[in-house]
Amino acid sequence: MSASGSPRPHTTWLKSLSPRWPSASPNLSMISASSSFELLGRNELLQASESSGIDASVPYPEGTTIDWHREEAAEREWKRTLHSQRGLRGALAPIADSSKMWLVIVLTGVGIGVAGAWLDVLVRWLGDLREGRCAYGFFYNQVACCSGLDPGEVCTEWKTWSEYLHVSSILGQSLLQAWVYIALAVIFAGSAAVLVITYAPYAFHTGIPEIKAILRGYVFDAFLSPWTLFIKALGLALAVASGLSLGKEGPLVHVSCCMAFLLSRIFKVKQNESQKRKLLAAAAAAGVSVAFGSPLGGVLFGLEELDTFAFSNENDVMWRGFVTSVIAAVTLQYMDPFGTSKLVLFEVSGTVSGTWRAFELIPWMLLAVVGGVVGSFLIRLNAAAAVYRRNSSIYDWPVLEVVSFAALTGAICYLVVFLRAQTSELVANLFQECDVTKGDYHGLCNPTALWHNVFLLILTAVVKVGLTAWTFGMMIPAGIFLPTIAIGACFGRAVGLLTQGLQRAYPSAVIFSSCPPDATIRCISPGFYAVVGAAAMLGGVTRMTVSLVVIMFELTGALSHVLPIMISVVVSKWVADALGRDGIYTVWIAMRRYPWLPPDEYRDQGQTAAQIVKPASDIVVLRDGSPPTLGELLAFVRRYHFHGFPVVAGDEDVLVGFVVREKLRIYLERLVTEDVDGALTEAQRWTFIKAAAAADNELVNLAPLLDEAVLQLRKDVPLQLVVNMFQKMNLRHVLFSQEGKLTGLVTKTDIVWLLTAHSPHTGQLAGDTIDQ
C-alpha cells in the first residue's frame, strides 16, 4: 500500500495535503488497540482474547476495505455481551446502547437541518453582497432588507454599490458594479480554496463518490473528520456565493455524514465499522432531504444511488433513513430560511392544476434526448478536464486555478443576464409560469422577444456546460446537481418557448387542435418544460431514476405531471446509457479507483472463477508449525503486509482457516515482548490447531485467533456467481479449495478490477488515492 502513481510531487499549496492523505500507518493506529490489553499471564491473556472478542479491537488502516463479516460477528458478540450482563444491567444495557444510536440519528437530523438553513442564509447574504448592501444594516440580505413593504412599493433601502458610494457616471457605475461583482467572487472562491487546501483537503468536490465507496466498506475516516465537516460547510457557503457553477446539494450529503460521525464519537456509540456505515447511510438520506427539501427523495436517493440496500437487510436501514430525513426536513421547515414556510423550493405555479396534451410528448421527447446527449457529453467533458488538470502544471497551483476560474466565471456571468444571479434564483424563475401580476424575469415573458430569449437561454446552457465541466473537480466544495438542473431548465424553457410560439403562430394547426380555442387560456406552459428539461438532464448526468423523479416532485410540487417527468427520465437514461455506461459519480469512483463494486448485473461468457483466482502457489500461506518458533512467526507476520493469511496444516496442506495479520501481529507482540513471568520466549513453538495444542503442552495455542468459518468455493463455480456473492454479501475475500486443499484466493480488489477494467476512466486519477 503506497501512495504511488502520483506523477509529480505536490508543491506549495498542496504540501499540507500529502501527509493528510490516507496512508497505511498500522503501527500508529494500533497503539490504542494494543493498549486495551491488560497485563495478564499467558493463560489469562488467552482467556481474555477469547472472551472479549479480539476481532472488534483491531482497527483497519485507512485505505483498506473492511471485512463485513468480521464486523458483523463482532457486533453479534457485543450484543451478546450486553445481554448477558446480570440483573438490571443486562436488561438496561442493550436499551441504553440502542438509545444512544437513536439519539445520534435524531441529533444528526436536527443538526443537518439547522446547518442547511444557516447555509442558505449565509449564501443568500454573501451572494447579495456582490450586488450591493442594505442601507440600514450590513448583515441583511436583499429580501430581509426590503421586507415589510406593501405590494408595489419600491425598495429604497437596498442599495447597489454604486448607489451606496454615490457614483453618478454611468460608466463609473458599470465598472464599479462589475469590479465588486468579480472581486468578491475571487475573494470568496479563493478563501474557500485556501481553507480547503490548508485545513481539510478532503472537503473539496462533491463527496458522493467517496460516500458511496465508504458505505460499501472503504475505510476512509479522515474523510469524515470534524475539520472536514467545518471546512466543507464554510467553504461551501463561500463557493456557492462566489457564483461559480456549482451547487450545495452533494456536499451537504458529505457534511451530514461528517456530522453523524462526529456525533457518534461524542456519544461514544460503539465504533463498529458495519454499524457506522448504517448510521452514515441514514445521515446521507438526511443530507439530501435538507438539500432539496425532499424527505422522501432523501430516502430513495440512499436506496438507489448510495445502494444502501446492498449491505444490509433493507428495512432496518430504510427505516433509520426515513426517520432522519423527516427530522431533518421538519427542522429545516421550522428554521424556515426563506420565510416561505414551505419545503417546496422551486414551486411550479399555474401548471399544477393544468392538464397536458398528447402532442406535448413530442417536445418532451426532444428534451429527453437532449438531456441524455448533453448529460453524457458533460460527463465526458468533466472527466477529460479532470484528467487534463491532473497531468498539467495546473495541478500544482490549485488556489491560483480556483481564483482565475472564479474571475473568468464572474466576468462571463456578469455579461449574460441569466447567469448573473445565483443559479437557484435562475432555476426558480425558469420553473415559474409567466404571470402578469408577478412581474417579468429579465423579459422572459415578453412574447415579442421570443428569439432573443431562446438564444439567451441556449447560450446560458452552453456556457454553463463548459463552466460546470471544469468547476466540478477544482479544490473547492462543489456539487453538480444544481448546475445540471439549471442547464436542463434552460434547454427546457427554450423548447417550451418555441412550442408556445409555434402554437400562438398557428393556433389552428391540426397538431394543436387539443388546445382550448380561447386564446387567452394558456395551452402550453413553458415553466413545466423547464422542469422536464431539468429532470432529463439530471437523468443523463446521474442516471438515477426513481429517486430523481421523487426529488423533482418534492422540488417543484408538480405531482399531477408525474407521467411526463417519468417518461423523460426513462428516455434520457436510455439515450445516455447508449452513449456511455456510467453516471458521473461512477466515473469519478473509477477515476479515483476506489474499491467500489458496481451493482450492475454481471454476466460471464462461460468463464468460471478459475479465470480470476490467484493460484495457491502465488499466495503467502501460513503452514502450521512451519516457521517453528514464535519469534520467527512474528518476523514472518511483520514481513508480509497482507490483510491475512490462509492457514494450512498436515502433509497435504489441508486448509484449516484464515488468520488476520493485524490480529496475529498484535497478539504475538504482546506475547513475546511483554511476557510477565518469562515463561514465553521467542523460541517457543506454536500451533493453530486445538487438538495439537491439547496433545502437546509445549505448544502455544493460537487457535482462538484462527477464523475457521471461512467461505470456501471451488474453482469451477461460474464467475457470475462469485461476482454476485461479492456484490450481495459484501465479502472481502473468498478462499477456493478442492477436496479440502487450498487452491486459490479472490479478493474484492480482483472483482472491482474485473468489473471496471472496461471503463476508459479507470485509475485516471488514481494517484490521488492509494493503491489497494
Query: Of residues 102, 267, 319, 451, which one binds a copy of itself by CB under 8 A?
Result: 319
CA distances in angstroms from 639 to 472, 636, 646, 648, 661, listed in the order given: 42, 5, 16, 19, 11
Task: Give me the least distance between CB of 55 and a copy of itself, in Å please.
Answer: 12
Q: Is 344 in the site for a copy of itself (CB under 8 A)?
A: yes
Question: Looking at 157-165, 546-554, 619-627, 689-697, which segment touches a copy of itself (CB under 8 A)?
Answer: 546-554
Taking Cα atoms as reference points, which of 483, 535, 498, 545 lies closest to residue 370? 535
Q: Does 33 bind a copy of itself (CB under 8 A)?
A: no
Q: How far is the CB of 403 from a copy of itself (least distance, A)?
A: 41
Whether the CB-CB separation of 575 and 329 falls below 8 Å is answered with no
Residues 691-720, interacting with a copy of itself (CB under 8 A): 708-714, 716-718, 720
CB 678 within 8 A of CB 669: no
Interaction of residue 438 with a copy of itself, rule CB under 8 A: no
Residues 6+ apart with CB under 8 A from 179: none
- The verdict on 767 binding a copy of itself (CB under 8 A) reads no
**Complex with a copy of itself: residue 170 or 709, whichever CB lies closer:** 709
20: left (phi over 0), alpha (psi -120 to 50) or beta: alpha
Stretch that binds a copy of itself, among 211-219, 527-535, 735-743, 754-762 (CB under 8 A): 735-743
Smallest distance, Å, CB 74 to a copy of itself? 11
The yes or no reply on residue 404 touching a copy of itself (CB under 8 A) is: no
| Interface pick for a copy of itself out of 318, 587, 666, 700 (rule CB under 8 A) | 318
Strand partners for 647: 622, 657
Measured between alpha carbons, how far is 439 from 454 in angstroms, rounded to an integer? 19
Q: Which of 224, 655, 700, 746 binds a copy of itself (CB under 8 A)?
A: 655
Instruction: Give the torsion sign (CA, 591, 596, 599, 605).
Output: positive
Report how far apart, in Å, the C-alpha atoms of 179 and of each of 139, 168, 185, 410 are. Answer: 21, 16, 10, 10
- Interacting span for a copy of itself (CB under 8 A) from 98-106, 141-149, 542-550, 623-631: 542-550
Q: How far apart are CA 223 and CA 592, in angstroms?
A: 14
Least distance between a copy of itself and beta carbon 546 (Å): 6
Q: What is the DSSP letter of 613?
A: P
The pair phi, psi for residue 181, each rounded to 5°, is -55, -50
Q: Which of 407, 621, 654, 692 binds a copy of itself (CB under 8 A)?
A: 654
Question: Which cell numbers hold the place of 452?
Answer: 432573443
Which region, judged by CB under 8 A, interacts with a copy of itself, from 112-120, 164-172, 423-431, 559-567? Answer: 559-567
Site for a copy of itself contains 546 (CB under 8 A): yes
Q: Does residue 623 interact with a copy of itself by CB under 8 A?
A: no
Q: Which is nearer to a copy of itself, 125 or 553 (CB)?
A: 553
> Cα–Cα distance between 460 and 454 in angstroms, integer?
10
Interaction pattern, residues 561-600, with a copy of itself; x per rule: CB under 8 A: -xx--xx--x----------------------------xx
Residue 682 Cβ vs a copy of itself, minimum distance, rounded to whole Å: 31
Should residue 601 be labelled a site residue for a copy of itself when binding is judged by CB under 8 A? yes
Instruction: Tell me how far apart the alpha carbons of residues 315 and 303 are, in angstroms, rounded to a whole number.
Output: 11
Contact between 724 and a copy of itself per CB under 8 A? yes
Q: Which parts of 283-312 interact with a copy of itself (CB under 8 A)?
A: 295-296, 299-300, 303-304, 309, 312
What is the number of residues in the chain? 772
Q: Which CB atom, from 167 or from 567, has the smaller least distance to a copy of itself?
A: 567
With DSSP H G I counted as helix, E B as strand and the rest as coil, what are the percentages for the chain, rounded to 5?
Answer: 60, 5, 30
Comparing CB distances to a copy of itself, the nearer of 199 and 309 is 309
Measured between alpha carbons, how far is 231 from 243 in angstroms, rounded to an integer?
18
Task: Answer for the pair 223, 457: CB distance below 8 angstroms, yes or no.
Answer: no
Q: Which stretch binds a copy of itself (CB under 8 A): 72-80, 181-189, 229-237, 389-397?
A: 72-80
> Alpha-carbon Rg of the chain, whole angstroms?
30
Q: Please identify, using beta-carbon distances, which residue of 197 and 569 lies nearer to a copy of itself.
A: 569
For position 625 contacting a copy of itself by CB under 8 A, the verdict is no
Which of helix, strand or coil describes residue 479? strand
Candidate residues 8, 76, 438, 452; the one interacting with a copy of itself per rule CB under 8 A? 76
- Is residue 402 part of the contact set for a copy of itself (CB under 8 A)? no
User: Which is closer to a copy of itself, CB of 447 or CB of 650?
Assistant: 650
Q: Are strands 158-160 and 132-134 parallel, antiparallel or unpaired?
A: antiparallel
Exposure of 310 in the CB half-sphere (CA atoms within 13 A): 25
Tell me: does residue 329 bind a copy of itself (CB under 8 A).
yes
313 binds a copy of itself (CB under 8 A): yes
